[in-house]
């Protein structure tokens, strides 16, 4: 059946009817009703009609239609990549191998803080990788900033090792984690403090990372006892307690008196094998150059923690009742 049906008398009636009067459109977009002489039906002059205003008018800036930002929950709906095979095949993943072998019926899981860099931040980080890549000799630097479809990827600060939860564990694990983290600390902010290469203990990959610290804690002076990441350390301890309770190893195993603040980082790229010391030092020095010096002034707001179990991501908000005024500082040194 056609989308629009016309009766058989339509063509005949149109043939016998007088030509339709043309409507003139004024230069301002309004319409003059009537004939070319300006007289409408009944000899009255044409009247000016403004086009009706749309009830869904969108704001335009510089002639470009602007759309409202996506809600934060949207990113959690599409946080998983497409599975190309049920078995571990490094050829499908740039030579990478699973650090935790997949067990049918288990749920790969991870706890982390997520960061979505702005468009300007993403562009600057991309430029930073472009500058570092030639400094690594024959090693190929793979970016973690962009997907295979050239879309910006969220970055993260790990609060757990890669976990493999059984079906019987996953709901209880999430419940225990939510209860432990929701009142652990208030919202806070972080800033990049320097670059580093981190050799994964579970693989032969070396990650290029941005080390992070809480500017409010660093601005108080001596951090030898309190550390530069008190909030992240609190969250890590809570996550490790829950992981150990369910029979999984903790992240950043250390003695009770040893601070792990310098271990917190955002991975932005990786290469096979740790670069030579001279190559690392040249890469670290880029944050002192005028082009990239401003990266240390960025603010990463931590409003919650993400728990990814299988392909389901749960946002666990932090208690914002104790949120304090956020400060920013500038540090000249870089991590070496």
In sequence order, the β-bridge partners of residue 137 are: none
Tell me, what's the pLDDT at 260?
83
The structural domains of the chain, with segments of one domain joined by +, span 106-322
pTM listed for this prediction: 0.68
How far apart CA 51 and CA 108 sit, in angstroms, is 57
Buried b (16+ CB within 10 A) or exposed e, 115-144: bebeeebbebbbebbeebbebbeebebbbb
Tell me, what's the pLDDT at 202?
75
Q: Do the Cβ atoms of 259 and 227 come closer than 8 Å? A: yes
Backbone angles phi, psi at 286, to 5 degrees: -65, -30
Mean pLDDT of 278-295: 96
Q: Which two tokens stand for residue 129?
A: 């990788």
User: Is residue 98 packed enough to be buried (19+ CB in 10 Å), middle (13-18) or exposed (0-12)?
Assistant: middle
Mean pLDDT of 116-123: 97
CATH fold for the domain made of 106-322: Cyclic Phosphodiesterase; Chain: A, (3.90.1140)
Tell me, what's the pLDDT at 81?
53
pLDDT per residue over 148-167, tens digit each? 898 999 999 999 999 999 99
Mean pLDDT of 311-327: 73
pLDDT at residue 289 tops 50: yes
| 21 against 313, higher pLDDT | 313
Mean pLDDT of 116-125: 97
Q: Do the Cβ atoms of 173 and 107 come closer than 8 Å? A: no
pLDDT at residue 335 tops 90: no
How far apart CA 291 and CA 127 sit, in angstroms, is 9
Q: Do the Cβ atoms of 111 and 178 come closer than 8 Å? A: no
How far apart CA 215 and CA 238 sit, in angstroms, is 22
CB atoms within 10 A of CB 18: 5
Q: Hey, which residues are catalytic here?
A: 156, 265
Tell me, what's the pLDDT at 86?
56
pLDDT per residue over 6-46, tens digit each? 455 444 444 455 555 555 444 444 444 444 444 444 444 44
pLDDT at residue 70 tops 90: no
Ranges of beta strands (E only) in the chain are 24-25, 31-32, 48-49, 60-61, 64-65, 107-115, 142-143, 155-158, 163-165, 188-199, 205-213, 265-272, 300-302, 304-309, 312-317
- Average pLDDT over the chain, rounded to whole? 77
pLDDT at residue 132 tops 60: yes
| 89 against 269, higher pLDDT | 269
Of 305, 306, 307, 298, which Cα lies nearest the Cα of 319? 305
In sequence order, the β-bridge partners of residue 195 are: 210
């Amino acid at each position: 059946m056609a989308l629009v049906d016309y009766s058989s008398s339509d063509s005949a009636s149109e043939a016998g009817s007088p030509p339709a009067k043309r409507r003139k459109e004024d230069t301002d977009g309004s319409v003059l009703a009537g004939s070319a002489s300006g007289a409408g039906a009944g000899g009255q002059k044409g009247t000016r009609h403004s086009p009706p205003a749309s009830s869904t008018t969108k704001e335009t800036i510089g002639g470009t239609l602007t759309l409202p930002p996506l809600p934060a929950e949207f990113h959690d709906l599409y946080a998983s990549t497409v599975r190309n095979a049920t078995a571990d095949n490094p050829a499908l993943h740039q030579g990478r191998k699973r650090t935790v072998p997949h067990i049918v019926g288990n749920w790969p899981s991870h706890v982390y803080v997520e960061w979505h860099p702005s468009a300007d931040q993403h562009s600057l980080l991309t430029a930073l990788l472009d500058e570092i890549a030639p400094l690594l000799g024959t090693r190929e630097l793979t970016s973690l900033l962009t997907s295979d479809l050239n879309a910006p990827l969220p970055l993260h600060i790990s609060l757990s090792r890669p976990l493999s939860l059984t079906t019987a564990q996953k709901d209880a694990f999430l419940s225990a984690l939510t209860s432990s983290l929701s009142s652990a600390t208030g919202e806070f902010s972080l800033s990049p403090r320097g670059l580093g290469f981190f050799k994964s203990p579970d693989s032969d990959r070396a990650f290029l990372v941005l080390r992070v610290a809480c500017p409010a804690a660093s601005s108080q002076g001596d951090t030898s006892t309190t550390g530069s990441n008190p909030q992240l350390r609190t969250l890590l301890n809570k996550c490790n307690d829950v992981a150990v309770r369910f029979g999984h190893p903790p992240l950043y195993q250390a003695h009770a008196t040893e601070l792990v603040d310098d271990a917190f980082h955002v991975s932005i790229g990786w290469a096979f094998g740790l670069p030579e010391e001279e190559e690392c030092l040249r890469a670290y020095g880029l944050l002192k150059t005028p082009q990239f010096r401003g990266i240390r002034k960025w603010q990463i707001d931590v409003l919650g923690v993400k728990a990814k179990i299988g392909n389901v991501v749960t946002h666990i908000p932090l208690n914002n009742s104790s949120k304090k005024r956020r400060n920013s500082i500038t540090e000249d040194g870089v991590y070496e």
